[in-house]
């Protein structure tokens, strides 16, 4: 079944019975996934739809724009993940003044009436309503008033006692710990952006790259070289075509660059023309930090090693440098 997406309460069909989970769900990490599973399980028991309520833009982007918060996942990826983990429908509420000034009772009354809420599944630290004045006790009281059950999930922690959270994922990405971030997310972290023209030094060296600027969607990990995947969206492959890649993040210190970019070299391919195409880049493992080498020859030796290491990490055949004359991109 294809997940329904509603952008306003007015779009919600009448006569529904739902079990709801509420949150920003940035990253849809394993803590979120547990909430979703509990929501879905309770919905099945109540013969109801499992519905996620999420917000766009993120509240921090509205209340504290100076923090320049970048979302871990785009809204598109967030919706895809919610659908993949068992949500039947998602209500995306515009996080604006009309919404965030609602009292806790007004907010719950509105969604309860529109969605026919039979149950709400949330983390036990949930805050909602104007000034975050509502908490789980408030929600339980409102559940008694409006006739729905409340299930509160305690914080989910890993074996070290660290709480699964979007903040933790961001910290790991800022440190370049993409493999650990993938463990928290339950999948490799990815960003999206449009491929732009660069200096074309990569192709001259035998490593043509698809270049994304720093303004792409998603949190860019720390500078360094990574093994990962470049994904293209094509008509006959709805899930995308995954191509193994060695990925460089940084300012290209070898050539005294100043602009931070993401450059993905698809292993062994010289026939890709991706300019102007929106792609996704997924990060599987950090291979090394970024550095300036004593010579271009030394850099090339390291890049040869990088693509061998990437192939090993990704479980694909090793490919060497490509012939610069064979590169077909414009």
* Residues that are catalytic: 263
Q: How far apart are CA 71 and CA 57, in angstroms?
A: 10
Q: How far apart are CA 189 and CA 72, in angstroms?
A: 8
Q: How far apart are CA 155 and CA 272, in angstroms?
A: 45
Token reading at 192? 């999206």
Q: How far apart are CA 114 and CA 12, in angstroms?
A: 7
Continuous segment of H or E residues that includes residue 113: helix 104-115
Q: Phi, psi at residue 208, to the nearest 5°?
A: -60, 140
3-state secondary structure of 8: coil
Q: For residues 103 and 142, is the Cβ–Cβ distance under 8 A?
A: no
Q: How far apart are CA 74 and CA 94, in angstroms?
A: 15
Sequence-distant (≥ 6) Cβ neighbours of residue 150 within 8 angstroms: 119, 120, 122, 136, 139, 140, 143
Where do we find the tokens 């499992």?
A: 50
């Amino acid at each position: 079944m294809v997940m329904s997406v509603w952008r306003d309460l007015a779009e919600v069909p009448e006569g529904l019975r739902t079990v709801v989970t509420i949150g920003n769900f940035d990253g849809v990490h394993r803590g979120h996934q547990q909430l979703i599973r509990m929501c879905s399980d309770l919905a099945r028991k109540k013969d109801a739809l499992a519905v996620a309520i999420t917000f766009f833009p993120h509240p921090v982007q509205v209340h504290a724009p100076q923090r320049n918060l970048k979302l871990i996942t785009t809204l598109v990826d967030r919706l895809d993940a919610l659908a993949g983990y068992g949500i039947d429908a998602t209500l995306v509420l515009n996080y604006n003044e009309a919404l965030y000034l609602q009292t806790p009772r007004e907010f719950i009354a509105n969604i309860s009436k529109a969605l026919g809420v039979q149950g709400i599944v949330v983390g036990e630290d949930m805050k909602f309503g104007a000034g975050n004045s509502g908490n789980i006790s408030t929600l339980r009281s409102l559940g008694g008033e409006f006739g729905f059950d409340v299930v509160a999930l305690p914080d989910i922690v890993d074996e070290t006692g660290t709480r699964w959270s979007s903040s933790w994922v961001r910290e790991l990405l800022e440190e370049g710990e993409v493999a650990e971030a993938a463990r928290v997310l339950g999948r490799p972290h990815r960003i999206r952006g449009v491929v732009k023209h660069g200096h074309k030094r990569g192709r001259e060296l035998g490593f043509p790259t698809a270049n994304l600027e720093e303004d792409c969607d998603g949190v860019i990990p720390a500078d360094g070289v990574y093994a990962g995947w470049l994904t293209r969206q094509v008509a006959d492959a709805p899930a995308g075509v995954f191509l193994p890649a060695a990925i460089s993040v940084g300012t290209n210190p070898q050539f005294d660059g100043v602009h931070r970019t993401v450059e993905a070299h698809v292993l062994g391919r010289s026939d890709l023309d991706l300019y102007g195409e929106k792609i996704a880049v997924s990060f599987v493992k950090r291979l090394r930090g970024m550095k300036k080498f004593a010579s271009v020859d030394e850099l090339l030796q390291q890049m040869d090693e990088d693509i061998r290491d990437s192939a090993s990490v990704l479980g694909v055949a090793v490919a060497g440098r490509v012939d610069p004359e064979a590169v077909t991109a414009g």
